[in-house]
Every structure is written in structure tokens, then in C-alpha cells.
């Protein structure tokens, strides 16, 4: 009898967890297009873009890339080859969004100046998107900074509403940029051992972020919401998106467009966070609800060796 009861409990547990896995969905959003790298050569940027787009296509990922138009220039001169990289994204059937011209923080400049930089950041992108038969619908705050006061936040949000542009939130935030900085440094130093060490730490690190934000989601909403992952257009992700995709698929995730993720009612939740940090919207909602800080205890930082090698102060 006990054996039957135990087997039934195990069956119910496996069934409930299988149902949970089957319902997971995530939108992949990629910041700092066309490329984030210290390498200026167009060949490097082209290879990076080709590699990343090929992997997104392989896994049928309907990603959206957020553009810093300042990256399209060199000494105030527009570099057409860099614009062509954005055209490749659109030709691949992917979307583009506005990430401002110069990646300035709304926490550090007046809203008026921020809006001017925002508008400057769509002069080229808006036309490219229109030529592709689409519309510019999304904006992503640099650093995920949304302002230190309700007045500043509202002034920008009201402008964006009038501009028919929606803010793209993030629920699965991470420090992929730190890993990428170390990875590129090792690449330029021809240090294949360090490159492998960074990659071997990177995939488990991102998976730990999924585990953490899945937990926070369940704590806040009693379910797992449609997630939005933020990563960057860097060499690390271009070379190793295969491993990231396989990890997400193993966790039961289906890749969905940003617009579908935002259909989740969770994204209508109140956010009263005006702190200095750029944090996940799940963390913002938790702080707004006054949740105990223990809810953040499973949010693991990047390994010390990565931060040290990349020349970044520990998180």
C-alpha cells in the first residue's frame, strides 16, 4: 500500500512539473546593436552578426534587437557597412527597436535631453524598419534606468505613448556583458584556456538566472509568467547561442516574440521603483509589493574570476 501511495505521489509530482515545463515561454531581446565590441574592424562585426543571426534562425528565435545609432558612426561620419548589419537583421525577419543614440542613463540627465537622444536614436532605424514593411514599436531604456522620480519617468513614458512606442521591460536580467568583456579579452590575447573557462561558467550562470526569476515569478504571481530575456550583441553570444538555446529548450521554453510576451497580464503590474540600479521588472514588482529581501537570495552574481579578468569591480 505504501509503495502504491509513494508511486502515486511521484507520478503527480512529475506530471505537475512536466506541465510547468511545457508552458514556459521566453522572448529573446538583444541590446546594443549593431555590435558591442572594442574591435573596430567591419570584418569582425560582420562575422559576429552573421554568426548570431545564423544561430537565431537555427532555433527559430523571433528576436528583437535594440539599436544604439551612435554605433553607426565613426568621427561623426555614417558608416554604411554598419547600417548594412541592421538591414541583415530585418532581412532575417527579425525586429529592431530604439535603444537611444548614445546609451545615456535617464538617472543622470534631464528628461528633455534624454528624449532628444531617444529621437536622435531612431533617425535611421525608423526608415529601415519602414522599408522592411514594419513599424518601430519598442524602446529599451539603457542600463534599465527609468528615472529617479515619478515626474521624470512619467514625462518619458507619456512621450513614448504619444510616439506610439512601448517600453520593452526585462524579467531575466544578467551580467552577460561582463562575461563577454572577459571572453573578448581572452580572444584578443589568444588565450583559449580562459575563453573555455568563461564559456563553461557562462551557461550555468545564465541558467541560474532563469531558476531565480522563475522562483520570483511564482512567488509574485503564483505561476511562471512569459519571460523576457536580455542579452547583448557580443562575440560570446554569437559564438555560443547554441548552448544558451539548448539550455532554454531543456528547461521547457518556447521562443516567442516580444509582443506575445507582453500579452501576459503580469506586465500591467505596478512599478514604484525609483532606485539607482537597473534591475529586472520582477525585482521592481517585488519591491513595489514590499516583499522580504529573502526573495532575492537565489540571485547569484557573476563569478569573481570573470569580473577580475574582465577588469570590472565585483557586483
Interval 191-233: pLDDT, tens: 999 999 999 999 999 999 999 999 999 999 999 999 999 999 9
The three-state (H, E, C) secondary structure of the chain, written as one string: CHHHHHHHHHHHHHHHHHHHHHCEEEEEEEEEECCCCCCCCHHHHHHHHHHHHHHHHHCCCCCEEEECHHHHEECCEECHHHHHHHHHHHHCCCEEEECCCCCCCCCCCCHHHHHHHHHHCCCCHHHHHHHCCCCCCEECCHHHCCCCCHHHHHHHHHHHHHCCCEECCCCECCCHHHHHHHHHHHHHCCCHHHHHHHHHHHHHHHHHHHHHHHHHHHHHHCCCCCEEEEEECCHHHHHHHHHHHHHHHHCCEEECCHHHHCCCHHHHCCCCCCCCCCCCHHHHHHHHCCCCHHHHCCCCCCCHHHHHHHCCCCC
Extents of the domains making up the chain: 26-310
pLDDT in tens, the chain (315 residues): 444 444 444 444 444 444 455 599 999 999 999 999 999 999 999 999 999 999 999 999 999 999 999 999 999 999 999 999 999 999 999 999 999 999 999 999 999 999 999 999 999 999 999 999 999 999 999 999 999 999 999 999 999 999 999 999 999 999 999 999 999 999 999 999 999 999 999 999 999 999 999 999 999 999 999 999 999 999 999 999 999 999 999 999 999 999 999 999 999 999 999 999 999 999 999 999 999 989 999 999 999 999 999 999 865
Give pLDDT, residue 22.
59
Architecture of domain 26-310: Alpha-Beta Barrel (3.20)
Q: Is residue 52 within 8 Å of residue 156, measured between CB atoms?
A: no
Give pLDDT, residue 5.
45
Q: Is residue 284 within 8 Å of residue 197, measured between CB atoms?
A: no
The angle that helices 42-58 and 235-250 make with each other, rounded to 10 degrees, is: 10
Handedness of CA 30, 32, 34, 40 (dihedral sign): negative
Largest CA distance in the chain: 79
Per-residue cell: 54: 545564423
Amino acid at each position: 500500500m505504501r509503495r502504491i501511495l509513494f508511486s502515486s505521489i511521484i507520478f503527480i509530482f512529475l506530471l505537475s512539473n512536466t506541465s510547468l515545463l511545457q508552458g514556459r515561454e521566453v522572448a529573446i531581446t538583444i541590446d546594443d546593436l549593431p555590435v558591442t565590441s572594442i574591435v573596430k574592424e567591419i570584418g569582425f562585426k560582420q562575422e559576429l552578426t552573421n554568426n548570431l543571426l545564423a544561430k537565431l534562425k537555427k532555433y527559430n528565435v523571433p528576436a528583437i534587437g535594440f539599436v544604439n545609432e551612435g554605433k553607426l558612426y565613426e568621427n561623426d561620419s555614417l558608416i554604411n557597412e554598419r547600417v548594412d548589419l541592421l538591414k541583415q537583421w530585418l532581412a532575417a525577419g527579425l525586429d529592431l527597436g530604439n535603444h537611444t543614440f548614445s546609451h545615456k542613463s535617464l538617472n543622470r540627465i534631464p528628461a528633455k535631453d534624454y528624449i532628444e537622444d531617444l529621437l536622435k536614436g531612431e533617425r535611421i532605424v525608423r526608415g529601415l524598419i519602414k522599408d522592411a514593411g514594419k513599424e518601430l514599436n519598442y524602446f529599451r531604456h539603457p542600463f534599465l534606468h527609468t528615472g529617479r522620480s515619478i515626474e521624470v519617468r512619467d514625462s518619458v513614458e507619456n512621450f513614448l505613448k504619444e510616439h506610439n512606442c512601448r517600453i520593452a521591460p526585462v524579467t531575466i536580467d544578467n551580467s552577460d556583458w561582463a562575461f563577454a568583456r572577459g571572453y573578448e579579452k581572452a580572444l584578443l590575447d589568444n588565450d583559449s584556456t580562459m575563453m573555455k573557462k568563461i564559456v563553461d561558467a557562462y551557461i550555468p550562470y545564465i541558467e541560474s538566472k532563469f531558476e531565480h526569476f522563475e522562483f520570483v515569478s511564482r512567488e509574485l504571481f503564483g505561476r511562471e509568467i512569459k519571460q523576457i530575456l536580455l542579452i547583448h550583441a557580443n562575440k560570446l553570444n554569437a559564438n555560443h547561442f547554441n548552448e544558451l538555446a539548448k539550455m532554454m529548450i531543456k528547461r521547457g521554453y518556447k521562443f516567442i516574440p516580444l509582443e506575445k510576451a507582453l500579452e501576459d497580464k503580469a506586465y500591467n503590474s505596478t512599478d514604484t521603483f525609483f532606485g539607482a540600479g537597473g534591475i529586472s521588472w520582477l525585482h521592481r514588482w517585488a519591491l513595489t509589493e514590499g516583499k522580504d529581501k529573502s526573495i532575492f537570495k537565489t540571485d547569484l552574481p557573476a563569478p569573481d574570476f570573470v569580473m577580475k579578468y574582465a577588469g570590472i569591480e565585483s557586483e
